[in-house]
Amino acid sequence: MSEEIKLQEREGDYDFQQKHLLGLAHYSGDDIQYILDQAQYFREILDRPVPKVPTLRDKTIVNLFYENSTRTRLSFELAQKRMGADVVNFSTGSSSVKKGESLKDTIRNISSMKIDMVVVRHESPGVPHFLTRCVDAAIINAGDGAHEHPTQALLDLFSMQQVYPDLSGRHIAIIGDIAHSRVVRSNIIGLLKLGAEVAVCGPKTMMPAYVDELGANVSYDLDETLAWCDIAMALRIQLERQEDGTELFPSIREYHQMFGITMEHLEKYPDFTIMHPGPVNRGVEMESAVADHERSIILSQVTNGVAVRMAILYLLSGGTRV
Amino acid sequence: MNTIKIMSAEELNRTFLRFAHQFLEPHDDPQQVAIIGMQTRGVHIGRRIVDIIEQEYGFKPDFGVLDVTFYRDDFRSRLKMPEVKVTEIPFDLYDRDVILIDDVLYTGRTVRSAMDALMDYGRPHSIKFCCMIDRGHRELPICADYVGMKLPTHVQEEVRVKVQELDGEDAVYVVKNSEEE
């Protein structure tokens, strides 16, 4: 019965080597695709009778939010709790930051409480990178200034792949306030690494200099962009980042006329899918009916956000890395 | 590396047939039985047994797929993070007689994880465990209800159950490390 046979080596698990998620610039296309592939299995947990697994029950995670956030913070917190982690929330409004405590002191104090991961949002670009030098925990960037917002980009990519499983060669348009958006930067980096073509479209006053250096096409004509794209992602007009609200365009009404997606656009260009990272200013970036249209995947973006963040927490939660 | 074939395709198929009969034997109502294959090879073994039951008894038992990665207590001690795979249990587990299927029973940790996972899906009437190979070296008080073959092994050895769907053949091998020879 016994005989000697040369066996082929079996496939092993993908060797995911990342310790932090500071931005998609640090990730290869394979790393990004691996996270997206894994995230689809985490999506299923949310539909279980008991939508909770004990995977991170030995982990303590700090949510360090120096900037206001509703959905990103809720999404992270839900992802952490769905995986059984102990969660500590920190926000500047109710902390010693008000007493003048520096960022470095804050993180050192928190890390002395034996934490494993830090989810950080800060108004200054580079803060997550700075934290990697202060503590030994895994750092996840939940948005740093206008630099990157990698988890939002990953959930956008995941939502796009639900429509087009292979994004290679697909035309993706990002429309609106390009200059103030950190989501744009992460999205462009991620999309290009997955082989998509990206165009940004918006008023010249909201288009940063050298945006084409990132590898995206630039357009100032909404109709031209919608005729070209498979997916159109409208961005929120961030009035809070402009000093007096409308210094970059004459009026909200004019912005909507020039760059707002309307039902007419949906009829005229019947193929493109609508996305928006939220929250939508209805009647500004798009008509209310467009946001609720069957071609809009805005709500599934929110659900996907939890699954994608669960996958990220899982993959960065440890394991001996070579 | 020295590789020895322990079971041929014919022997494996005979074992699947035996399992099919054993699973249904104690049940007045065979519809009570639900079969769940554990990722990865347990899924393929489970599907084979389901097909045999359909041929022999004329009905198809409920079949699900379980990945226990989220419930494992040892995943961070491995060199690489284990890849998460699909879980799909498209029926209610309440009051069912569940039979879990895996290819190799070794430390017992995977089975423990699987039981935790099943409890989160519902409250089965009973859970029984079926494995193709019981290679010993248990670290938890767990034993299988249905065993294809008990195979005493050395810790350094590796047992590989191969299935046609994944590996292009049906067979069981033991891989011995050259250090032991």
Position A320 scores a pLDDT of: 40
- Which DSSP helix (H) or strand (E) runs through A165? none
Q: Confidence band (pLDDT; 50, 70, 90) for A187?
A: very high
Find where tokens 């740093």 sit. Answer: A144
State the average pLDDT for chain A. Answer: 86
CA-closest candidate to residue B73, choices B139, B12, B136, B11: B139
Q: Which residues of A touch B112 (CB under 8 A)?
A: none
Mean pLDDT of A41-59: 88
Q: Exposed, middle or buried, B103 (CB in 10 Å: 0-12/13-18/19+)?
A: buried
**pLDDT tens figures, B56-79:** 999 999 999 999 988 887 666 554
In whole angstroms, give the CA distance from residue A309 to residue A34: 13
Please tell me the predicted confidence (pLDDT) of residue A2: 31
Q: Above 70 in pLDDT, residue A6?
A: no
Tell the CATH topology of B10-23+32-74+85-151. Rossmann fold (3.40.50)
Same domain, A178 and A271: yes
Q: How many CB pairs under 8 A join A and B?
A: 80
Number of residues written out for chain B: 181
Number of domains comprising chain A: 2
The boundaries of the domain holding residue A237 are 150-297
CA A96, distance to chain mean position in Å, is 29
Tell me if A149 sits within 8 A of A186, measured CB to CB: yes
Residues annotated within a binding site of A for L-aspartate = 99, 182, 236
The label of the residue with tokens 């210094």 reads: A247
Same domain, A171 and A197: yes
Q: How far, in Å, CA of B155 to CA of A111, rounded?
A: 40
Reported as a pLDDT band with limits 50, 70 and 90, residue A158 is very high
Phi-psi region of A254 (alpha: psi -120 to 50; beta: other; left: phi over 0): alpha
pLDDT, position A107: 80
- Residues A125 and A208 grouped into a single domain: no
The CATH number of whichever domain residue A215 belongs to comes to 3.40.50.1370
Same domain, A240 and A311: no
Instruction: Work out the pLDDT band at A9, boundaries 50, 70, 90.
Output: very low
Binary contact (B83, A5; C-beta < 8 A):
no
With 70 as the cut, is the pLDDT of residue A7 above it? Answer: no
pLDDT reported for residue A302: 87
pLDDT for residue A134: 86
Q: Tell me: do A172 and A266 sit in the same domain.
A: yes
Sheet strand arrangement including A231-234:
A217-219, A197-201, A171-175, A231-234, A273-275
Are A289 and A296 contacting, i.e. CB atoms less than 8 angstroms apart? no
Of B77, B81, B88, which has the smallest distance from its Cβ to A13's Cβ?
B81
**A163 in the same domain as A284:** yes
How much is the pTM?
A: 0.84
| Shared-domain flag, residues A141 and A18 | yes
Q: What distance in Å separates the CA atoms of residue A301 and residue A140, rounded to the nearest whole number?
A: 19
pLDDT above 70 (res A76): yes
CA distance A252 to A214: 28
Q: Same domain, yes or no, for A158 and A118?
A: no
Residues A212 and B124: their CA atoms lie apart, in Å, by 59
> Binning pLDDT at 50, 70 and 90, where does residue A239 land?
low
Tokens encoding A309? 């963040």
| Residues of chain A positioned with their CB less than 8 A from the CB of B121 | 48-50
Asked if residue A321 is part of any domain, the answer here is no
User: Looking at CA atoms only, how far is residue A170 from chain B in angstroms?
Assistant: 27
Q: Are strands B2-7 and B171-176 parallel, antiparallel or unpaired?
A: antiparallel
| A43 Cα to chain B: minimum distance (Å) | 10
For residue A23, the model assigns a pLDDT of 95
What value does the mean pLDDT take over residues A148-166?
96
Question: Predicted confidence band at A185 (pLDDT cuts at 50, 70, 90)?
Answer: very high
In the prediction, which pLDDT does A1 show?
Answer: 28
What are the 10-residue block averages of pLDDT along chain B, 181 residues in total? 92 97 91 94 96 94 94 65 84 94 95 93 94 96 96 94 95 79 42
Q: Are residues A215 and A136 in the same domain?
A: no
Report how far residue A171's alpha carbon sits from residue A232's, in angstroms, rounded to the nearest whole number.
Answer: 9
A29 shares a domain with A94: yes
Spatial distance between the Cα atoms of B88 and B52, rounded to a whole number of angstroms: 21
Query: What whole-number distance in Å separates Cα of residue B65 and Cα of residue B50?
Result: 13
State residue A3's pLDDT score: 31
A117 shares its domain with A129? yes
Judged by DSSP in three states, B169 sits in coil
Q: In Å, how far is B31's CA from the nearest CA of chain A?
A: 22
Residue A193 class from Cβ within 10 Å (0-12 exposed, 13-18 middle, 19+ buried)? buried
Does residue A322 form part of some domain?
A: no
- Picking from B7, B66, B80 by the largest number of A CB atoms within 10 A of its own CB, the best residue to mutate is B80
Whether A61 shows a pLDDT value over 90: the answer reads yes
Relative orientation angle of helices A29-45 and A182-193, to the nearest 10 degrees: 110
Average pLDDT on A58-63 reads 92
Strand pairing partners for A172? A198, A231
Where are the domains positioned within chain B?
10-23+32-74+85-151
pLDDT computed for residue A101 by the predictor = 65
Name every chain B residue with its beta carbon within 8 A of the beta carbon of A5.
3, 5, 173
Whether the CB-CB separation of B8 and A5 falls below 8 Å is answered with no
> For residue A156, what are the CA distances in angstroms to A93, A191, A230, A297, B41?
30, 10, 14, 10, 33
Q: Residue B124's Cα: distance from chain center in Å?
A: 18
As a whole-number percent, the residues of chain A with pLDDT over 70 amount to 89
Question: Residue A22 falls within a domain, yes or no?
Answer: yes
Interaxial angle between packed helices A298-315 and A71-82, expressed in degrees from 0 to 180 and rounded to the nearest 10:
50
What average pLDDT score do residues A232-252 get? Answer: 74
